[in-house]
Amino acid sequence: MGEERKRYSEESAPALTRRKFFAGSMAALGAVAAAGVSGCSPQLSETGEDVPDQVDVAPANVLEGGEWKSVRCSRCGGGFCVNRAYVVDGTVVRMKTDDSHEDSLYTPQVRSCMKGHLAHRYYYAPNRLNYPLKRKSWQPGGGENSHGELRGKDEWERISWDEALDLTAQELRRIMDEYGPRSILSRAMGGNVVAGVEGGAASGFNPPPLLTALGGCISEWGEVSAGASTVVSTCRVGASSPFGKDYITRSHSKLIVIWAGDYAMSSPQSDNYFNEAKKNGAQLVYVGPWYNLTSQGLADEYIPVRPGTDGAFMLGVAYEIIQNNWQDQEFLDKYCVGFDADHMPENAPTGENFKDYVLGAYDDTPKTPEWASEICGTPVETIRKFAELVSQTKPLTISGSCAAARTANGHNYTEMLYVLAWMCGCDDFSIFPFWGGATANYIGFGGAGGQKYPESFDPTIGTAPYGNYDLSNALYHEDYFYGPAFCDTYNAILTGKFHHLAHGEQDINIKAIAKLSSNAMLNQISGIMHGIEAYRSVDFVVAADIFFTTDCAYSDIVFPVAAVWEKGFGTLSPGNNVVLGETRLTDPLYERKSDAEIQVELAKRLGLDENLIIQMPERQSDFNIFAGAQALDANDIAAGMKPLLTITQEDLDAFGVEGTPQEGIMPIGEFLEKGIYQVPRSEGDGMEQAPYAAFMEDPEANPLPTATGKFEIYSWAFKEAYDRFNLEAVDPLPKYVPAYDGYEASFTDWEKKIKGEYDLQFVSVHYISQAHSQLSDLAEANEIWPNNLQMNPIDAEARGLSDGDAVLVESAAGKIAVHVTVTPRIMPGVVLHGEGNGADLDEETGVDMGANDNVICGDRLMGIGQNPWNSTLVKVSKWTGKPLEARYQRPRRPNYAEEA
Amino acid sequence: MGQYGFYFNSDTCTSCRACVAACKDKNNLPAGVKYRKVLDWAHGSWDVSDAGVCSPKDVFVYSVSIGCMHCASPACTEACPTGAMTKRDDGVVFVNQNECIGCGSCANACPYDAPRLDEETNTMGKCDMCREYIDAGANPACVDACRTRSLEWGELADLQAKYGTVCDVPPLADSSQTSPSYVVNLHREAKKGFDDGLVTNTESELS
């Protein structure tokens, strides 16, 4: 550690200039970079025509000799903004954001957050992987040869590509031959845009084609981002992720309720789409455990609710509405089933209705505001006022977020959000904060012509992660093999038993873990301490990544992957009302290869047909995806979706790709220059979106895809869907159930309010300066957003803590060390921290000095296999260990390029 | 010429700090050095009842984004022993690095903590309103980066005509000291008259 610290000081401490930075991490291009970034020499002093005469020294860092190129920001879970990079001979020396058109409320520039402005520092960061690496003590052959106990502690050596590929192929072949396809676990969860490895032959959720071609592998199921919101949404609403109305329609809402999500923090830019509504006088209420960034910028009122208790809060609101007869009875009667005894579905085995449940007919507990208040912590008067406001103001928008569904009882928050909307006669509700439904109808992706997955893909051996989304949609195939759930994987590896969806506990024997074409799964799935133990127990772990992530640290062979700027033709992605595109900026630096290339090379060594991996050069498949993009033409909406890009024979020749010229909305050259096609919107443009319009018009003729064709307040289908997971029984009515490790569980005596050992609720949020693990190791991001634990002054005082103190956060699952910020923006009893930090375990103390939330949040399997991040109890005390540096001054992960 | 200044809308700012990152990038600053910073100012308190009910009292947070204030009466130029700290005819204050000896007098004098030491050259640096950008008719990097459109720049007189003359906002130093070229729209909650609170930033956010 001491040596790393020293190296860090020399490389990246405050004394460092950018020139040194480039020289250190990009030696090959140092001379070029210096020409672009140095600036104090007199010959660079032309600064324009109107320079006052006293200026006799040029500003630093004047741009020269390059050009601005458009790039897509891929460093986010939801925003997808436009960035522009100033490129000098293949080196990016400065970033800026969207300036492709005049900024306006209806058609805003798609400006990025700070991550976009730091993109080049991120791609050139010292912890980029440059060469293949091997863990010194590992040898193929399994058993003791692997020295798995040293994963995360061992030393590393640079090896040649041939050696790395040969060893990997040899070991995968051995394990496949000895133990079969279900002994190889593919860890994959979004390989394209939110990944540590951005895109590749197997982007998205599928296992890497290499493993499929080899004979199959197993992957994981469960829910991450969406928490427990999917199955309940599918069954009650008819869509696993319901979208609301578009932002122009929403601009006429009188009341906008934002629930739990923090647009400004986790999907920056999407909050801008409420500006027009605000300007029109809409009242905006935010509900959640902290006065967050979105509240700061938009909210007129903040309502505190404890994590995991939103359902109780809304039941209290429902009680008040029913008592005052404020509900929209016509809406409930016409569009919903199960609200009262007169409107039950035909198949209702329990016969209970929602209204009587709220009034306490079944459990002698009326769900009064007083009942709710004790659970959710919201003052009774606030619950009453909110009930009146939300039921008496129309048009109403309820914009939810999956954050509150990432709890042990997240289905209850989700279902009550819908029921509350329906009681208020509201058909504009959503569960995902970003995109807001705006993208889906304007923009499409042909996608045809890209690489194909191997046809030998066999779901009876192992399905794609999430079960290819089927499970989210309450679809289930008896014959498929879904593997372990995310929260069951480490248990499966360590015990040899796992929870099979259909057949209960089953044997499993995982010998290898392969993370190819995906993000940092060990770092990003809860239960890291358990995970480390599991990783140490297998024969072989291989990881391909852009950076030396936690996953790499616990691997045996590590492949350095080219970033999106370094490969193919370019990347296309959807954003808020836009299509974004970017082209390759440079060749791969050092020895990096695209993840498709890596898999092709492994396929060759395994004697597999490389056509199973890719069928055409990446440049061609990328281009085909561009050519297949579609969008609505604002000048000709009636024509429906059209090809987005006009491509001429000259374009094809210039790009060196094959294809057929086509007519589109925008020339491909203009699109690549601007980096964006934005569907121009205006009031009354005919592109308004109301997801339930036909159903609202005539619910009998246009039923919803639910079991009853209506919004299901009573849903037997929901109960049955949960039964298939064999993990948790739910009620057809949205009944409140305290969460495992929720607020109620923090007491040893609820009546007397005596707290137990773990007395604070922990909330893990997407953090603005990092997209999951991306940028989390970047000093320049960490200094601007240090990711301290946030704690209310009352809780700090009770623990003798002051603002800025280092603290120890402990849960049943693990311990982290972090600094604390004491602020009233967090409600008492709750502490909050950003996810994505790289785990950095101190082997002596067992404390994660990197402060990764997944060390604190455990991997308990429940519900529909959701990661219950926001149902976590902790205790916090003053840190007494060795001094804890400010996060941006902490040792970076090692830079192996230097030793190589 | 008149005096250029910044306008900042504290009511719409979400503290995202794109301005900080864009400024850092434009000025090529290493980790630990920033010419623009965003101050988070938190207000309010909570009552917790025996039953655990949490009542917020005037709880809100707003942010203030500042670089150099390009003051009408800059303390830095006054304090600078070599004349390196220069105020242009258009009011932009910048460091002439040829003259600067890195003594830090300007940093000590500035009530906004704007000047920063470049340890490599041992000279001071600070927000110069991206003078080569504005001289070429473009916006400062922070303004173009502002995700919530809360930052503007221009002739101070024009900004004042458009947005008023308020330039005092907690936790900034009293404007009477140096007459900052700054116009601020107060946060909707701050307009209710609350003026006590606390800065919740860490040291690294403000360095």
Are A40 and B94 an interchain contact pair (Cβ–Cβ within 8 Å)?
A: no
Question: Left, alpha or beta for A760 (phi > 0: left; psi -120 to 50: alpha)?
Answer: beta
How far away is chain A from the Cα of B43, in angstroms, using its nearest Cα? Answer: 7
B56: which chain A residues are within 8 Å (Cβ-Cβ)?
A: 291, 302, 304, 824, 827
Q: Answer for the pair A271, A297: CB distance below 8 angstroms, yes or no.
A: yes
Q: Does A828 touch chain B (CB under 8 A)?
A: yes
- Cα–Cα distance measured from residue A312 to residue A334, given in angstroms and rounded to the nearest whole number: 26
Q: Answer for the pair A272, A109: CB distance below 8 angstroms, yes or no.
A: no
Please, which residues have CB within 8 angstroms of residue B22's CB and are 6 or more apart in sequence? A95, A96, A97, A114, A117, B141, B142, B144, B145
> Which of B100, B147, B205 is most worth mutating to test chain A (most A CB atoms within 10 A of its CB)?
B147
How confident is the model at residue A15, as a pLDDT? Answer: 27
- Cα–Cα distance measured from residue A513 to residue A188, given in angstroms and rounded to the nearest whole number: 11
- Among the partner residues A380, A783, A804, nearest to B31 by beta-carbon distance: A783
For residue range B164-207, what is the model confidence (pLDDT) as tens digits? 999 999 999 999 999 999 999 999 999 998 878 999 999 999 98
Could you give the ipTM of this predicted complex?
A: 0.97
Q: Which two tokens stand for residue A172?
A: 């995968």
How far away is chain A from the Cα of B100, in angstroms, using its nearest Cα? Answer: 11
How confident is the model at residue A860, as a pLDDT? Answer: 95
First vs last C-alpha separation in chain B:
33
Are B42 and A825 an interchain contact pair (Cβ–Cβ within 8 Å)?
A: yes
Q: How far, rounded to the nearest angstrom, does the alpha carbon of residue A681 sit from its chain's CA centroid?
A: 28
Are A296 and B62 an interchain contact pair (Cβ–Cβ within 8 Å)?
A: yes
B59: which chain A residues are within 8 Å (Cβ-Cβ)?
A: 291, 302, 824-825
Q: Does A701 touch chain B (CB under 8 A)?
A: no
For residue range A673-686, what is the model confidence (pLDDT) as tens digits? 998 888 888 888 88
Q: Does B18 touch chain A (CB under 8 A)?
A: yes
- Among the partner residues A17, A99, A786, nearest to B120 by beta-carbon distance: A17
Residue indicated by tokens 């959710």: A376
How confident is the model at residue A32, as a pLDDT? Answer: 30
How far away is chain B from the Cα of A652, in angstroms, using its nearest Cα? Answer: 35
pTM beyond 0.90, yes or no = yes
Grouping H, G, I as helix, E, B as strand and the rest as coil, residue A576 is coil
B55: which chain A residues are within 8 Å (Cβ-Cβ)?
A: 379
- Among the partner residues A293, A377, A753, nearest to B54 by beta-carbon distance: A377
Q: How far, in Å, are A18, A84, A150, A453, A554 from residue A896 at the CA level? A: 20, 30, 18, 34, 15
How far away is chain B from the Cα of A368, in angstroms, using its nearest Cα? Answer: 15
> Which of B204, B206, B207 is most worth mutating to test chain A (most A CB atoms within 10 A of its CB)?
B204
For residue range A569-612, what is the model confidence (pLDDT) as tens digits? 877 776 666 777 777 888 899 999 988 899 999 999 999 999 88
How confident is the model at residue A40, as a pLDDT? Answer: 28
How confident is the model at residue A636, as a pLDDT? Answer: 85
The stretch A507-519 carries a mean pLDDT of 91
Residue indicated by tokens 């609200």: A339
Are A96 and B146 an interchain contact pair (Cβ–Cβ within 8 Å)?
A: no
How confident is the model at residue A790, as a pLDDT? Answer: 98
- Cα–Cα distance measured from residue A133 to residue A161, given in angstroms and rounded to the nearest whole number: 9
Strands of the sheet containing A396-399, edge to edge, are A301-304, A283-288, A255-259, A396-399, A429-430
Cα dihedral A201/A203/A205/A208 (nearest 10): 20
- Among the partner residues B15, B86, B121, nearest to A293 by beta-carbon distance: B15
Highest mean pLDDT among A209-218, A516-525, A685-694, B143-152: B143-152
R_g (Cα) of chain A, nearest Å: 27
A111: which chain B residues are within 8 Å (Cβ-Cβ)?
A: 18, 145-147
How far away is chain B from the Cα of A297, in angstroms, using its nearest Cα? Answer: 4
Between positions 289 and 318 of A, the ones with CB within 8 A of B are: 291, 293-297, 300, 302, 304
Q: Does B165 touch chain A (CB under 8 A)?
A: no
Q: Which residues pair with A841 in a beta bridge?
A: A848
Are A60 and B28 an interchain contact pair (Cβ–Cβ within 8 Å)?
A: yes
Q: Does A25 touch chain B (CB under 8 A)?
A: no
Q: Which two tokens stand for residue A724?
A: 């298939």
Q: Which two tokens stand for residue A712?
A: 């299901």
Are B200 and A822 an interchain contact pair (Cβ–Cβ within 8 Å)?
A: yes
A49: which chain B residues are within 8 Å (Cβ-Cβ)?
A: 135
Q: Which residues of A93-125 are buried (b: 16+ CB within 10 A; e: fewer)?
A: bbbbbbbbeeeeebbbbbbbbbbbbbbbbbbbb
Residue indicated by tokens 């009573």: A714
> Which of B202, B206, B207 is most worth mutating to test chain A (most A CB atoms within 10 A of its CB)?
B202
How far away is chain B from the Cα of A569, in angstroms, using its nearest Cα? Answer: 27
Would you say residue A517 has pLDDT above 80?
Answer: no
Question: Left, alpha or beta for A398 (phi > 0: left; psi -120 to 50: alpha)?
Answer: beta
For residue range A184-226, what is the model confidence (pLDDT) as tens digits? 999 977 543 333 334 443 445 677 889 988 999 998 999 988 9
Closest of A650, A646, A511, A629 to residue A578, by C-alpha: A629
Are B18 and A113 an interchain contact pair (Cβ–Cβ within 8 Å)?
A: yes
Q: What is the DSSP letter of B188?
A: T
B131: which chain A residues are within 8 Å (Cβ-Cβ)?
A: 47, 55, 59
How far away is chain A from the Cα of B207, in angstroms, using its nearest Cα? Answer: 8
For A743, the closest chain B residue by CA position comes to B52
Would you say residue A515 has pLDDT above 50?
Answer: yes
Are B46 and A116 an interchain contact pair (Cβ–Cβ within 8 Å)?
A: no
Q: Answer for the pair A293, A269: CB distance below 8 angstroms, yes or no.
A: no
- The percentage of residues in chain A with a pLDDT greater than 90, rounded to a whole number, is 65
For residue range B90-125, what is the model confidence (pLDDT) as tens digits? 999 999 999 999 999 999 999 999 999 998 889 999
- Cα–Cα distance measured from residue A606 to residue A604, given in angstroms and rounded to the nearest whole number: 5
For B134, the closest chain A residue by CA position comes to A48
- Cα–Cα distance measured from residue A98 to residue A78, given in angstroms and rounded to the nearest whole number: 17
For A56, the closest chain B residue by CA position comes to B96
Question: Left, alpha or beta for A325 (phi > 0: left; psi -120 to 50: alpha)?
Answer: left
- Cα–Cα distance measured from residue B13 to residue A428, given in angstroms and rounded to the nearest whole number: 27
- Cα–Cα distance measured from residue A848 to residue A873, given in angstroms and rounded to the nearest whole number: 17
The stretch A266-280 carries a mean pLDDT of 86
How confident is the model at residue A79, as a pLDDT? Answer: 59
What's the mean pLDDT when you consider all of chain A? Answer: 87
Would you say residue A51 has pLDDT above 90?
Answer: no
Beta strands in A658-736, from DSSP E residues, in sequence order = 666-667, 676-678, 711-712
The stretch A67-80 carries a mean pLDDT of 76
- Among the partner residues A18, A52, A377, nearest to B90 by beta-carbon distance: A52
Grouping H, G, I as helix, E, B as strand and the rest as coil, residue A321 is helix
